[in-house]
Structure 1
Amino acid sequence: MSVFPFSAIVGQDEMKQALLISAVDPRIGGVMVFGDRGTGKSTAARALSALLPPMRIVEGSRFNCDPDHREDYPEELTSKRVRRVPVPFVDLPLGATEDRVVGALDLERALGKGEKAFEPGLLARAHRGFLYIDEINLLEDHLVDLLLDVATSGENLVEREGLSVRHPARFVLIGSGNPEEGELRPQLLDRFGLSVEVKTPDDIEQRIEIMRRCDAQERDADAFAEEWKAADTNILRQIARGQKALDKIDVPEAILTDAAELCVAVGADGLRGELTLMRASKALTALQGKRKVRREHLIAVAPMALRHRLRRDVLDETGSTVRIDRAIEELFG
């Protein structure tokens, strides 16, 4: 199946920026995308995954074992050989059972033969890649809780009848949904690092260009990919440069003060807002090839870092993005 080039996606700039920020720093906690059907949500996520260079794994590993961190995979050390595979992009279907998601222990084999037999699930497949959940607002609450716990801890623990298996499960969690079909609980929304809103474009020229590019890709996917190869390569270099520079980015004390004041002004719940603002600002700074976080970086990421963390104000029915923009104007001018 051919993947649409990331750089060829028309519009949806905030969504694309959020995905790039998460690719530079997966610790941010993934992206929640709200919007209409057919607005390129899964296309963009899948395109970013396909854009990234192949990753190194230990040959035969069932957990995408990183050869440079073999100590994390005590049961995966049988092979010394290394091979390259595409960065995984795993779709989690709405009807998935818990065993399919986290993996299953074979109790009969364990009790009868004394062997710990484990069948890895979707979390193992997604390790070091992307886990995409469409219509996450329709997913059963206990599965969402489980996924967010694993995404936060970076580890999957399966326990059945006194037996347990644990393995690394670090991935970028991307959820999408249409708010008209049901809302996510606020405490679950808060666990996502970034939240973006996508809308069906109303600009005629933009809609025409989308049709042109989709038609070109359907007629000759290879030629279309070649046409956008240079642009995708530039984005890949930008991500790689950002990842390398991330830990060297300077965050002045004034920026930390700005982040705290903004979170207080908009009434953000908890302290995840400040932490996400700081991390996302650093990632954006690194993406742009800068060395120091500036206020404009903070302002650029503020809506996506905070809009899903605001307490509902019964006296203010304006949208969360409007409230954030208003607070930015009052604080920073």
Structure 2
Amino acid sequence: METKKLLFPFTSIVGQEDMKKALLLNIIDPSIGGVLIKGEKGTAKSTMVRSLVQILPERKTVKGCVFNCNPDSPETMCQYCQEKLSKGIDLEEEYTPMNVVELPLSSTEDRVAGTLDLEHVLKTGEKKFEPGVLAQANGNLLYVDEVNLLDDHIVDLLLDSAAMGVNYVEREGVSFSHPSRFILVGTMNPEEGDLRPQLLDRFGLSVNVKGEKEIDERVEIVKRRLLFDQDPEKYLKTCESNLTEMTQQIISARHTLKSIFVDDILLQKIVKTTTHFGIDGHRADITLIKASKANAALQGRLEVTDVDVKETAPLVLMHRMRRRPFEESVLDLEELDECLQSL
């Protein structure tokens, strides 16, 4: 196996390419809605997600703002930054690298959303907000391991914030809001229980991964892991040029995305495809369009083609397809191809 085929250290598993693509598409266009990665234990799900920190691009933020506000978007800034602007105070800018923020499984609602110091409000009349994980996650990637074991109301809170881009906290009639735009990535082992269908639908993309069965591939995985453990810095040095190239590809794709064109015929094909496979609602239509555009941008093209739809449709549709309990959803690629060729 050639090193250049690997994006991240020692990951070579069934479904790796789909997992890699799903993560990259969301980095290019965070509005896709995040990724849910399902897989048996020991399939490098966490390794893949945490390795993303090596290729995440820089972003512009307001210097000193705990909410990582975007200085180019005053309407989405936190209340503190907006107050400074209203007083004519110039906001300093800086470039900071995106990061992977992890949510502990035992997190409470206050730890996730943050809390208002009501005592401070009563004494001074000024709002004092203690930021939570959603403040730290703004502009970053939020990783939730074993997302299926989180309390449903915490998962709802994460998905709502990811969809709206705002975290709103209210206590005893006192409210505070701040931007919370992030890429939500959840991993889970289906053997430990599944998410409700309503929650599954809220994830933009989903991918299933399995352990490698081929002996030589498994040996290569073990060798790479041992090399990494022996000297992580030396190992990553061997991947440095590939990682730098991937970062530049992401930056270029983000810029290209603004100019991507989708014609009406392709829109009809996408809607016909989601209808054919019995997908409820319109979220899948919109997500498939966004994912196809991001895929075209990743390939350096300015127009979406059938190939983009075919490559991203399984990621968008499989977890939304109707299935019986304990039954795994499978998307027939030949049937998908026939749908795309019928118009």
TM-score by length of 1: 0.92
CA distance in 2: counterparts of 1:129 and 1:79, whole angstroms = 24
Whether 1:257 aligns to 2:268 is yes
Residues 81-127 of structure 1: CA distance to partner in whole angstroms, max 9, x if unpaired?
A: 33333312111112111000000111111123322111000000000
Within 5 Å, which residues of 2 pair with 1:37-116?
A: 37-71=41-75, 72-76=77-81, 77=84, 80-116=91-127
Shift of the alpha carbon at 1:43?
1.6
Within 5 Å, which residues of 2 pair with 1:256-295?
A: 256-295=267-306
SS at match of 1:68: coil
C-alpha contact 2:78 2:177 (8 A) present in aligned 1: no
SS at match of 2:80: coil
Within 5 Å, which residues of 2 pair with 1:1-333?
A: 6-8=7-9, 9-11=11-13, 12-71=16-75, 72-76=77-81, 77=84, 80-312=91-323, 319-322=328-331, 324-332=332-340
C-alpha contact 1:239 1:287 (8 A) present in aligned 2: yes
Residues 260-279 of structure 1: CA distance to partner in whole angstroms, max 9, x if unpaired?
A: 11111110111111111111
Root-mean-square deviation over aligned CA pairs: 1.9
SS at match of 1:133: strand
Equivalence for 2:3: none
CA distance in 2: counterparts of 1:301 and 1:96, whole angstroms = 33
Write the letter of the residue equivalent to 1:24. I
SS at match of 2:227: helix
SS at match of 1:321: coil
Shift of the alpha carbon at 1:48?
1.6
Change over 3 Å in CA distance of 1:261–1:318 after alignment to 2: farther
Residues 44-95 of structure 1: CA distance to partner in whole angstroms, max 9, x if unpaired?
A: 1222233123333222211012232345234034674333333121111121
SS at match of 2:130: strand
CA distance in 2: counterparts of 1:187 and 1:25, whole angstroms = 23
C-alpha contact 2:62 2:94 (8 A) present in aligned 1: yes
Shift of the alpha carbon at 1:332?
4.4
Shift of the alpha carbon at 1:301?
0.6
CA distance in 2: counterparts of 1:89 and 1:276, whole angstroms = 23
CA distance in 2: counterparts of 1:313 and 1:99, whole angstroms = 36
Equivalences, count: 326
